[in-house]
Structure 1
Amino acid sequence: MLIEVDEKIFGQYFYDDPHPFNTKAFVELNKAKAEKIIRLVEDTEKPEIGLLAGIHKGKLLSPFSAPFGGFHFKKENMYSHKIDTFMLSFKEYLLSQNYKDCNLTLPPDIYHQTFNAKCVSALNRAGFISKTPEITSWIDLQEVQDKYKQKNSREYYRQAQRNKLVFEQVQSQLDREEAYRLICQNRAKFNRPIYMSLDDLQQIENLWPVDFFKVSNPDGEMLASAIFYRWKHQVVYAVFWGDNEKGRPLRAMDFLLLNLWQFYKQHNYRYVDLGISTEDGIPNSGLLRFKETHEAVSSLRYRFALINSL
C-alpha cells in the first residue's frame, strides 16, 4: 500500500536525488505548473522507493514540467521483487484514486541503469502501457579524444580550425543574451519551439550551474552557442545549442561540440546527456545522425501510461 507524505518526511527518506529534475528545489520552482504535488511512499517503517509527481487535469504526471521524472530509491541494486511490489501498489493507488491517466517518463540509463532495467520490467508486468520509447543520446566522456572518430566530422573540425574559429565560455550578461538570441533564431529557422526564456534559465542558476558557450570568428562575431546544466552526479545536460547562417559554412557546430566534450572531460564529468532526437517516439533522422557522428551513443528513454477504465 502507498501513502502520501509531506515534503519534509519525503526528504528524510530520500535525501539523495536521482537526477536534477527530481530535486526538491526544481519541483518548488515549477510547482505552479501542476494543481497539486504528491509524494508517494510505501506504508512501512523504512520506505525504499518513492515517487514525486504532479496532478494536472485529473492526471498523475511524472514529470509534470521536465524532460523526465521517475522514482526515488535508496540504492540502485535493490532486489527486483521490492520494485515489483512497489509497482503493483502504485497501480492499486492510481485505480483507487480514480485518476484519469498516469504518464511516467523514466530517465536515461546514464542516471541509474540497473534500477531503470528493473523498473521497465516491473511496470510492464504490472500492466502499465509501454508507449513508444524516445531515442535519447549521450556522450561517454571517457571515450572522447582530441579528434572525432567519424571521418567527415574530423574533416569538418579541421576546416573550422583553418577558419581560425575561437571557442570560449561566455561570462558577460550581454554575451549570454546574444548566445540565447542566436539559439532562438536557430530554432525558429527549423520550426522547433523554445520553452524557456533567458530569465527561466537564470532562475535555474539558483539550483545548479548553468554554462553558456560561444564560437566566434577572428573578428569576434558569434557563430554558434550552447547552454548546458551541470549536475553533481557526473552528468551535464545539454539544454540548447545552435549556429547561424555565417557559422554553418565555417563548421562552427563541429568546432563547438568537440570543444564542449573536451571542456567537460577536463572538469571530471563522465557523461553529457544530449536529450531526445524524437517527437512522441518518432525519430528526427537528421538530428539523431548529427549527434551520432559527433561521438554520441543512442539508447532508449522509456515512457509508460495507465488509463483508468473505472
Structure 2
Amino acid sequence: MIIEIDERKFQNIFGIDPHPFISNKFLSLNRNKVEKIVWLVENIGKPEIGLVAGIKDDKLLSPFSAPFGGFHFKKENIYSTTVDHFILLLQEYVMSVGYKEFRVTLPPNIYHQTFNAKCTSSLLRANFQSLIPEITSWVDLQQFKGVYGQKNSREYYRQALRNELVFEYTETEDDKLEGYNLIKDNRAKFGRPIYMSLDDINQTSNLWPVDFFKVSTKEGNIVSFAILYRLNPQIVYAVFWGDNELGRSQRAMDFLLLNLWSHYHKLGYKYVDLGISTEDSIPNSGLLRFKETHEAVSSLRYKFNLIN
C-alpha cells in the first residue's frame, strides 16, 4: 500500500530529483499555495518510485504551482512492472483516502523520456483519464549550427543586424523592471496573463540561477526581453519573453532568440525548454509556428486525472 512519510525520509530515499520543479527546495518555496504537501511511497521493501503532491480543495495535485510535476524514481530503466504496481497502489490510495480528484502533469521528454513512456502507458492501462495533452517545444542545442535553418528567419535576423540592435545580459534592477513590464504588456496584448510578479521571479533565483537578457536599439531603448531559468547543467527553461511595437518592426525577437541559443550552446547546455504553445490544450497556432521557425521541435506533454 501507499503511505505518507516525512520529507526528510523521502529525500533520503530519492537523493536525486528527476527535475527541479519537484525538488524539495522548490516545493518549500510554494508550500503556502496548498493546504498540505504529502510525500508518498510504497510501504514494503525499498521504494523505487515516489510522489510529492499538494492537497487543495480535497484534490491531490502534482504540480500545484509549476509548469509540470510527476514522479520521483530511482533509475530510468526501472522495470515497467514496477511502474504498473505503483500506479495501481496510487489508484487504491486516492480512492481509500477519499480525495475528490488526483491530477498529474508529466514533464517533457527532455527531462526523462524513458520513464515518461512507461509511466504514460501504465496510467492509461490503469484507466486514469488522459486529458488533452499540451504541445510543448524545445530547442536541441546539440543540433544547433549557429544560424537559423528557416530562410525567412535568417532574413529577419539580417534585418535586425542592419538595424544595429544590441543583445546583452543584464543584472540591473532598472533593466529587470523595465523588461518585466515590457513582457507583461506584450502578454496582455495577446490575452496571455502573467502569473508571476518580478518579486516571485527574484525569489526563485535563490533556488537556481535566473538570467535576464535585453535587446536594445542603438539609442539604448529596450525593445525585447527574456527571462530564463538555468534549471540544471543540461536544460535552460524559458520562463518569459516578449517585445514591444518598436521591437517588432526592428525584428528584435529574431535577434534575441538566435543570440540566446548561441549563448547557451557556448555554455554547454543541451536543451532550451520553451514551454507550452497551447491554452487549455488548444494550440496557439502563431506562437507554435514562431517557435518552430526558430529552431524548436514540438511534442506532447501529458496530463492525467482520476476522479473519485
SS of residue paired to 2:30: helix
Q: How does 1:1-310 map to 2 (within 5 A)?
A: 1-308=1-308
Deviates more, 1:199-208 or 1:38-47: 38-47
TM-score if structure 1 supplies the norm length? 0.98
Q: 1:18 corresponds to which letter in structure 2?
A: P
Q: Give CA deviations for 1:192-219 in whole Å, capped at 9, x if unaligned.
A: 1000001001100100000000001111
In the alignment, the residues of structure 1 paired with residue 92 and residue 142 of structure 2 have an alpha-carbon distance, to the nearest angstrom, of 43
* 1:45 CA displacement: 3.1
After TM superposition, the score normalised by the length of structure 2 is 0.99
- Give the fraction of aligned pairs with identical amino acids, expressed as a percent: 66
Q: What is the one-letter code of the residue matched to 1:178?
A: E
Q: Distance in 1 between matches of 2:171 and 2:202?
A: 13
Q: C-alpha separation between the residues in 2 aligned to 1:161 and 1:27?
A: 42
Secondary structure of the residue aligned to 1:176 is: helix
Aligned-partner Cα distance in 2 for 1:177–1:143: 34
Structure 1, unaligned stretches of length 5 or more?
none
User: For the residues of structure 2 that align with 1:215 and 1:258, how far apart are their CA atoms?
Assistant: 12
Instruction: Report the 3-state secondary structure (helix = DSSP H, G, I; strand = E; otherwise coil) of the residue aligned with 2:269.
Output: coil
User: What's the secondary structure of 2:146's corresponding residue?
Assistant: coil
1:249 is paired with a residue whose SS is helix
The separation in 1 between residues aligned to 2:243 and 2:118, in whole angstroms, is 40
Alpha-carbon separation, structure 2, partners of 1:125 and 1:185: 44
What RMSD over aligned residues (CA atoms) do the two structures have, in Å? Answer: 0.7
Measured in 2, the distance between the counterparts of 1:36 and 1:307 equals 20
The one-letter amino acid paired with 1:6 is D
Give the Å deviation of 1:44. 2.3
CA apart distance, 1:43: 1.0
Partner deviation per Cα, 1:165-197 (whole Å, 9 max, x = no partner): 110101211111111111111111111100000
Question: 2-side partners of 1:59 and 1:233: how far apart?
Answer: 34
Query: Match of 1:299, as an amino acid?
Result: S
The code of the aligned residue for 1:51 comes to L
**Deviations 1:123-166 (CA, angstroms, capped at 9, x unpaired):** 00111001110000000001112210001001000000111111
* Moved beyond 2 Å, runs of 4+: none
| 1:99 to partner: Cα distance | 0.6
Distance in structure 1 (CA, Å) of the matches to 2:15 and 2:169 = 32
Task: Provide the C-alpha distance between the structure 2 equivalents of 1:122 and 1:279, rounded to a whole number of angstroms.
Answer: 26
- Partner SS state of residue 227, structure 2: strand
Q: Using the alignment, how far apart are the partners of 1:18 and 1:233 within structure 2?
A: 13
What secondary structure does 1:164 align onto? coil
- Whole-angstrom distance in 2 between the partners of 1:44 and 1:156: 59
C-alpha distance in structure 1 between counterparts of 2:97 and 2:110, whole Å = 33
Whole-angstrom CA distance in 1 between matches of 2:205 and 2:82: 36
Q: Find the aligned partners of 1:123 and 1:280 in 2 and give their Cα distance.
A: 21
Q: Give SS of 1:76's match.
A: coil
3-state SS, counterpart of residue 226 of structure 2: strand
